[in-house]
Homo-oligomer: A and B are copies of this chain.
Amino acid sequence: MAEYIAPIKDMQFVLKHVVGLDQVNTLPGHEEITEDVVDAILEEASKLAHEVLSPLNITGDKNPSKWKDGVVTTPPGFKDAYWQYVNSGWGNILSPAKYGGQELPHMIATPVEEMWGSANLAFKLCPMLTQGAIEAIAHVGPDALREKFLPNMISGKWTGTMNLTEPQAGSDLSLVRTKATPQSDGTFRLKGQKIFITYGEHDYTENIIHLVLARIDGAPEGVKGISLFVVPKFNVKPDGSLGDRNDVKCVSIEHKLGIHASPTAVMAYGEKDGATGYLVGEANRGLEYMFIMMNAARLSVGLEGVAIAERAYQRALAWSRERLQGKPVGVKGATTAPIVQHPDVKRMLLTMKSITEASRALAYWTSAILDRAREHPDEEERRRSQAMVDFLIPIVKGWSTENGIDVASLGIQVHGGMGFIEETGAAQHLRDARITTIYEGTTGIQANDLVGRKIGREEGRTALVVLAEVDKVAAQLSGEGDPTLKDIGMALATAAAKARETVQWISRNFATNAPAVAAGSTYVLKLLGITFGGWMLARSAQIATKQLAAGEGDASYLKGKVLTARFFADHILSQVPALAIAATKGGESVLAVEESFL
């Protein structure tokens, strides 16, 4: 197994049957999203992923982006791949039609984005960051900025970046110090240093459009004094052509555990007279604007967890079918067999498969709700969907990325000693995956957001709505005559009950004992991820059983789907009660420990 092959069958099943295309093709402007259109999009994207991006994945790992005198050279083949990607029209699928984009629904962009992440995570980050910058400018404006920058960013001629972090301000943006001084012409001069800037400098395009958080002179301390600016690498003349180099440069790039092809830049703004910047929206509302985009960005990173998991699974499965070692336990007269036949290896593969498919379905479902939150004609439905997305995003981000790491690590384990040898390729997936639980907000930050803003402050209202849906499926399956479905239903019902108790416990304790809730928050995130992932797989099993009975679809795929759901029920859903104990009772045993005891 060398190259990635998109799991189109599973993607189609989830989109068409588990989520339902009607979630989005009933929204105004998306009526054209028929099954055939979806199939064609997936097919085309899978070709680029397989033929162009996947072969460059190891190339990029072995030949990290290089910095010399402020200039960054990306690995061989990456620039060409970028232009193939852009020229095939993939760079603008989510962008506003007004400036040249295709405005596809997120639900459809999501599997496509998963493919890029599986094929080449380090490559994928450039378009992802550009998309975030496009959204910020498109959403907030003003029009002058939109017109000046969006067409070239959407066409892929220029890329975009997000500049939040500074050495002293990582997760805590209240500590941002970069300064912006107003000029008489309405622009600003920025001075400061930004770190961890993904694709802050590169050689794909002639210009790079930086979105930068900074404080206008005299602005309040803390998060309420932060504004958002556009700072182009090259100033843009009124006619749209490139002018002078702006006073911003890349002073170094990082030597990282993974995603070697993606340059992580240290950016210096205003080492001379100050970098020319343009205010996005209103002063002091920068953080708010960043958070508007944050949902989509966090969903994207969650999807990276799914993507890496899928790639690691494909590689491990292929190896397990080739590698001959040992005789299967309990088989009389067995001869040396492929390791896939050993029960413990099969268990690892099923862990990888079931977690990947559960995370995928949950991410796609969430992206469909994101479309409804943004585009449903009914305001109340938009509000309801937005609350749901806000609740689900930290779960998708946190759970899927932790899963990506676990699955990639299992992928190494399946390979045995060969997994530790870099040439095999399995180790790269773990190294690449390891950043996903950190950037765009660590798992701990997702978990705190979840138990605080998304559960505690609304007394678990949205969580309980989703859990009621889970209960419905659990009840349907628990009443089935089919013993496999019944088993899945019972396991799901137990998990949902424990999840509900946990949510209720948070609602009771959030106001009075926030530290204890925070101390258990990561477990809450995990148990909700597992419960909702289990719900997605339970629905999948329900649908697959119906299709099998009706003689529809691919029987092997569908039987696998049912048994994967059962595996997940026994092996993963069963963890929820323990997580509930740790989430609710465990906080006290964290808080009891004084810092000096550590």
Contacts and interface: CB of A to CB of B under 8 A. Distances in A.
Given A172-B326, A437-B413, A578-B578, A570 B585 contact: yes
Given A254-B421, A256-B422, 7 more contacts: A170-B418, A344-B519, A409-B434, A412-B438, A417-B438, A431-B431, A556-B597
A55 interface: no
A572 to B, nearest CB: 8
Contact of A343 (B350, B570, B591): B591
Interface string A341-377: 1111111111001000000000000000000000000
B329 A515 contact: yes
A574 interface: yes
A165 interface: yes
Interface in A387-428: 405, 409, 412-413, 416-423, 427
Nearest to A487: B589
6 contacts: A168-B324, A255-B421, A560-B597, A570-B585, A570-B588, A575-B575
B582 A574 contact: yes
A265 to B, nearest CB: 13
Given A171-B416, A417-B439, A556-B597, A344 B570 contact: no
A586 interface: yes
A41 interface: no
Given A417-B165, A435-B420, A597-B559, A514 B330 contact: yes
A438 B442 CA distance: 29
A100 interface: no
A427 B434 contact: yes
Given A417-B170, A417-B438, A577-B577, A598 B254 contact: no
Contacts of A448: 329, 344
Interface stretch (A89-97, A294-302, A561-569): A561-569
Contacts of A438: 412-413, 416-417, 419-420
Given A329-B514, A422-B255, A597-B559, A346 B434 contact: no
A340 interface: yes
A559 to B, nearest CB: 6
B592 A344 contact: no
Contacts of A598: 317, 340, 346, 349-350, 353, 560
B522 A344 contact: yes
A596 interface: yes
Contacts of A116: none
A518 interface: yes
A175 interface: yes
Given A422-B257, A518-B330, A566 B578 contact: no
A444 interface: yes
A590 B519 contact: no
A149 interface: no
Contacts of A423: 255
A413 B443 contact: yes
B172 A336 contact: yes
Nearest to A348: B444
Contacts of A574: 578, 581-582, 586
A341 B521 CA distance: 15
